[in-house]
Amino acid sequence: MSKKNKIDKNHLISIIEDIILSEGISGLSIRKVAAKANISIGGVQYVFGNKEAMIQAVFEKNDEDYNKEIKNLSKGDDSKYSELKTHIEYISKYNSTKELHKISKVITILLQDKSVFEGLHEWHSSALKSIDTNTEEGKKLRLAFLFSEAMFTAMNLNHIKLSEKEQKEVFEDLKTFLL
């Protein structure tokens, strides 16, 4: 009796990420993923169906990884603004790491996909709407959130270059003055 080979979806997602990072979304194809994974085109189609589903799978994997990290950093804090503050902490703490740089580059490339763009747009809109700007805390949190997002974007698009020391200082200032 022969065993069926099981296709490792996470391995395929890793291959898809590598292709996206090196060639962009336009370089991604089912054929290319199959060749790099050394499996049939049908195997990739069985797991994902089409290119859009591959893109969505990469986005969802990055989103799951992000949510796990936010949960770890929040340490069970369920206060009103805990998630947003933890998000800012995540950006400030990990912005200079190689892994976050990879994630941010993948997300930046994936923004070319309409569903990814709309999902992130909705997340940001929801985050901003959750802040009560009638309070001093809410006003400061909104500024901290927008500032951290702007820094994250500007650094990852190479609009500004700061040393790791400078990045830490800027984010420490943000936390000191706004959080």
The answer to whether residue 2 scores a pLDDT higher than 70 is no
Token pair 């969505």 is found at: 56
Amino acid at 17: E
The answer to whether residue 3 scores a pLDDT higher than 80 is no
Which sequence spans correspond to the domains of the chain? 55-178
**Taking the CB of residue 151, how many other CB atoms lie within 10 A of it?**
20
Segment 63-90 shows an average pLDDT of 88
CA 130 to chain centre: 20
Residue 11 CB partners (closer than 8 Å, separation 6+) = 37
Segment 26-49 shows an average pLDDT of 96
What pLDDT, on a 0 to 100 scale, did the predictor assign at position 53?
96
Q: CA angle at residue 27 from 152 to 158, to 5 degrees?
A: 20
Residue 24 CB partners (closer than 8 Å, separation 6+) = 109, 112
Token pair 């941010």 is found at: 104
Choose between 134 and 66: higher pLDDT.
134
d(CA 43, CA 126): 37
Q: What pLDDT digit, counting tens, does each position of 102-128 carry?
A: 777 888 888 888 988 999 999 999 999
Residue 179 and residue 85 in contact, taking contact as beta carbons nearer than 8 Å: yes
**Taking the CB of residue 21, how many other CB atoms lie within 10 A of it?**
13
d(CA 157, CA 91): 15
CA distances from 128 to 2, 123, 132 (A): 55, 9, 9
The answer to whether residue 97 scores a pLDDT higher than 80 is no
Residue 67 and residue 78 in contact, taking contact as beta carbons nearer than 8 Å: no
Q: CA angle at residue 53 from 49 to 59, to 5 degrees?
A: 155
